[in-house]
Structure 1
Amino acid sequence: MRQGFTQHLGAIRRFFLKRAPVADVDDLVQDVAMRMHTRRADDPIANVEGYLFQTAHSVLADRGRRDSTRCRSSHDSLEEFHHPVEDRSPERVLEGKEQWSMLLAAMEDLPARTREAFVLHRFEEMQYAAIAGHMGISVSAVEKHIMRAIRRLADAIA
């Protein structure tokens, strides 16, 4: 699955560059990666490229829906201020890639229900009550799953 994603990474970036602000492209690509990563491994995909682009389209639609409910103009733009940007040294880039790999590995190690609750809350932006209904568990159980995930992921990249 990862190989299929990496093979089409450039095309997915170009897809988003044509349809979204440049500042959002990396986040959108990451959302596609997270959806692919959290997908059930026992359900094979016949057409990986088609599935990736359908996922990218869904991510873009979800972002549009989410942004339409928020008043983005009320937020200050960082472009209005001059902030020196830290240079991306090769060491810093490598460190970021290593942390990303550790985070993905830690997510794979999470119990399935914990990972599902975490992804639904953090990436699908579902409320605890909605997650509880979706998973057939109590809100308290959802809170515990999410806290467990956060602790384990923080420990993994610390």
Structure 2
Amino acid sequence: MTEARFSAVFNEHRRGLLRFLRRRVGNEEDAAEIAQEAYLRLLRYADQQDPQALKALLYRIAINLVGMRQREAGSRHQSEHLPIEDLPLMSDEASQEQKLVDQQNLQLLMSAIRELPERCRQVFVLSRFHEMSYPQIAAHCGVSVKMVEKHISRALAACREKLGER
């Protein structure tokens, strides 16, 4: 995920996060400081593609930071009893939009695989779908392990090219 897109995700949830944190810590200054720390810690996950996963992670990091501050201050009772209505709702199931994007990506990958030369496609399928090792594939196809590596590299490059920015 690009830095601009990552920043956009953070900015989109900034107000809600600050409101959420103000209810926990009781003042604007501490809430802003915790939000900033949460953002810095969230940067470790910038490569995450799913904005909803980033939102959930941002809130989880913020909750953990509030808990750490409260433990340091000696007032643990508030962090142990968070009202359920204040927690962001999350589901383990992917959103409809994510399912559509995943389906489109799969179609692009399958198209890339179908467009590979016969031997390259065979080697790639044996490796990725039948989980054969390179030496097993080499023996099966009557080629060297080095040739198997070249076919795999070519196939992966074709898949990356087909998917582009996705």
TM-score between both structures, scaled by the size of structure 1: 0.44
Scaled by the length of structure 2, the TM-score of the pair is 0.42
Pick 1 or 2: higher relative contact order, CA cutoff 8 A, min separation 6.
1
* Greater Rg by CA: 2
